[in-house]
Homo-oligomer: A and B are copies of this chain.
Amino acid sequence: MTYCVGLMLDHGLVFMSDTRTNAGLDNISSFKKMKTWNLPGDRVFTLLSAGNLATTQSVVSLLDERTKSPEDRNPALLDSPSMFQAVRMVAETLREVIEDQTEDGPTADSTFNSTLIFGGQIAGGPPKLFLIYPEGNFIEASPDTPFFQIGEIKYGRPILVRAFQSDMSFEDAVRLLLVSFDSTMKANLTVGPPLDFMCYDSDTGQIAVEGRFEADDPALQTVSRNWGEALQSALESLPKVDIRS
């Protein structure tokens, strides 16, 4: 399993992903599930992936190859004229890779499936955030649905639904995500640290800050340790429920 989140803030984008992959509970390893492409000042793309690791690594390698070798730059992610064309290219690559693996083409329950979050900005256009399905279609974030989750989404969703605010600072957004990831990691062994994150400030064309929280990172440990207590205080702050009336 995997857990990845992409947030669309008023002033930019924030991404976080775990790194645990597993083939059975007795066979776990660590892989980065976040890939960023940046032409400073011109464009930034970030891709988060959940699902079959062979599939997502192929997708990234194919996009990377297209990015790197000029003679093979058609279609090239770093040449795409708009975020819409960029996401179409990523989605098409995903569909092709899954199709290569399966006789019947990509279906929602295939073993080789993968779901992606793709976001970024190309100079001249607004920042955008997409959720890409294994079938190669995709949806775009909007003020009504300002974030996407992929992988093990349920445990970490309530806190996002209740506490996400589109005007939060990067620091507050990352802290919110740490809580959401901590809730997930406490409940599902197949989601685990280190956690990668990346923040993008709109209209800058470059990464504002990126980094990694290791399992023993003081920030991650502090959030995890204090969140139980904070939740209990929150619960106690609610009005009493009269159950005997």
Contacts and interface: CB of A to CB of B under 8 A. Distances in A.
A158 B183 contact: yes
A10 B156 CA distance: 29
Nearest to A177: B241
Contacts of A175: 235, 238, 240-241
A25 interface: no
Interface string A176-190: 101100010011000
Contacts of A158: 155-156, 158-159, 183, 186-187
A31 interface: no
Interface string A205-245: 00001010000000100110011101111110111111110
Contacts of A187: 154, 157-158, 161
A144 interface: no
B219 A242 contact: yes
Nearest to A233: B234
Contact of A162 (B227, B238, B239): B227
A240 B228 CA distance: 16
A109 interface: no
A104 B203 CA distance: 61
A211 to B, nearest CB: 6
A164 to B, nearest CB: 10
A209 B176 contact: no
Interface in A46-105: none
A173 to B, nearest CB: 9
A161 B231 CA distance: 10
9 nearest A-B pairs in the assembled complex, by CB-CB distance: A154-B154, A158-B183, A230-B234, A234-B234, A162-B228, A175-B241, A162-B231, A219-B241, A163-B231
Interface of A: 154-159, 161-163, 165, 170-172, 174-176, 178-179, 183, 186-187, 197, 199, 209, 211, 219, 222-223, 226-228, 230-235, 237-244
17 contacts: A154-B155, A155-B157, A157-B187, A158-B187, A161-B187, A162-B186, A162-B228, A162-B231, A162-B232, A174-B241, A179-B238, A209-B244, A223-B238, A223-B241, A226-B237, A227-B234, A231-B234
